[in-house]
Amino acid sequence: MTTTLADRTEAAEYYFTYIDKVPRDKDVRRVLEDQLGETVQLLSGISEDKSHYRYAPEKWSIREVVGHLSDCERLFVFRAMWFARGFDSPLPSFDQNVAIVGARSEDYSLKELVEEFRAVRGSTLHFFRNLPDEAWTRRGIASGNPFTVRALAHIAAGHVAHHVGILRERYL
């Protein structure tokens, strides 16, 4: 079993925005593990006051970005679990703008949001560490797009890398 992507048929092209941020020569489980400490360290260095910052009107605050990281990680791992366990029903779409309103991340401290991300990523790590070899290449449809379980693990890692990059460039 390999946890590196075999080819670009494992997800729709759009998702390679995230997948391509994951090193090809490294086990994706290790990338997810390494990201946890790096991301928590970065976020923990942001003050509660600064966490309300938006780099432009109508853009998410830092708190909302952190809440979005946890929401999307749950989504990607749920999809991976669904397909890994052999379910073949297509899964619905996810609208991040609806989710951001419902999450109400501004109602929580940054510290709470960082702890939530830590817990969610911990759960992600347990799931992927214990995944049977044959499950990594199982496929399914979500949001009208094909995915392998392996692609979803890469998307989870790449999504965090994407947003951490935006935080560094535009917020910090």
pTM, rounded to two decimals? 0.96
pLDDT tens per residue, range 44-57? 999 999 999 999 99
Q: What is the pLDDT of residues 8-38, one digit of tens each?
A: 999 999 999 999 999 988 999 999 999 999 9
Q: What is the pLDDT of residue 6?
A: 64
Residue of 86, 81, 75, 73 lying closest to 36 (CA atoms)? 73
CATH topology for the 27-171 domain: Four Helix Bundle (Hemerythrin (Met), subunit A) (1.20.120)
**Residues 66 and 110 sit within 8 Å (Cβ to Cβ):** yes
**Residue 2: per-residue pLDDT:** 66
**What is the band of 78 on the pLDDT scale with cuts at 50, 70, 90?**
very high
Locate the domains of the chain by residue range.
27-171
Q: What is the 3-state secondary structure (H, E, C) of 43-86?
A: HHCCCCCHHHCCCCCCCCCHHHHHHHHHHHHHHHHHHHHHHHCC
Say yes or no to pLDDT of 5 above 80: no
Distance of CA 108 to the CA centre of its chain: 20
